[in-house]
Amino acid sequence: MTDALALGLSGIEKATLVHLSTFADGKFQCFPSIKTLAKITGFSESATKRAIKKLEELKLITKKRRYSSSGPTSNLYKLNTRVLHDNPSKTSKLSNPVTSNGKFLAQDGNYYSCPAEFYMKKHGQVGGKLHA
């Protein structure tokens, strides 16, 4: 896995990834609205949309449009845990990286709330401000 600096993630992209991971369920999926993500990251809705597009381009997440009987609703996002891990070959051997207590068991043997927390901590991106 390329480190965060090589990926060129901006503050909004890092913040969006971390917040998507906090919403994620045991299948690493979530569906917060753009408005919600913008509010909790402190960035505009248009900046949040650009961040999501960049995370998709880097294959850190996938996005699926969702619809209800009344029309479009919030998108479904899935964290790509194989990319967020350092070694995909080890990841594929894990049948379920989420333990019974809801924590994510990472390759380093520690438990995290989600794969993004592991990735950001490993690359020195957790703690302090995520954006300027």
Report domain extents, the chain: 4-122
Q: How far apart are the first and last CA of the chain?
A: 25
Residue 70: strand pairing partners = none
In contact, 43 and 130? CB cutoff 8 Å: no
Rounded-to-integer distance, Cα 21 and Cα 17, Å: 6
What confidence tens digit (pLDDT) does each residue in 11-43 have?
Answer: 899 899 989 988 888 888 999 999 999 999 999
In contact, 48 and 34? CB cutoff 8 Å: yes
What H or E segment, with its residue span, contains residue 66?
strand 61-68
Highest mean pLDDT among 75-79, 119-123, 126-130: 75-79
pLDDT band at 124 (very low <50, low <70, confident <90, very high): low
Place of tokens 């997440």: 61
In contact, 63 and 55? CB cutoff 8 Å: no
DSSP state of 58: T
3-state secondary structure of 30: strand
Q: What is the CATH T-level fold of the domain 4-122, as seen in this structure?
A: Arc Repressor Mutant, subunit A (1.10.10)
What confidence tens digit (pLDDT) does each residue in 62-92 have?
Answer: 999 998 899 888 899 999 877 665 544 343 3
Provide the pLDDT for residue 111: 73
pLDDT above 70: percentage of residues in the chain: 61
The model carries a pTM of 0.61
Provide the pLDDT for residue 42: 92
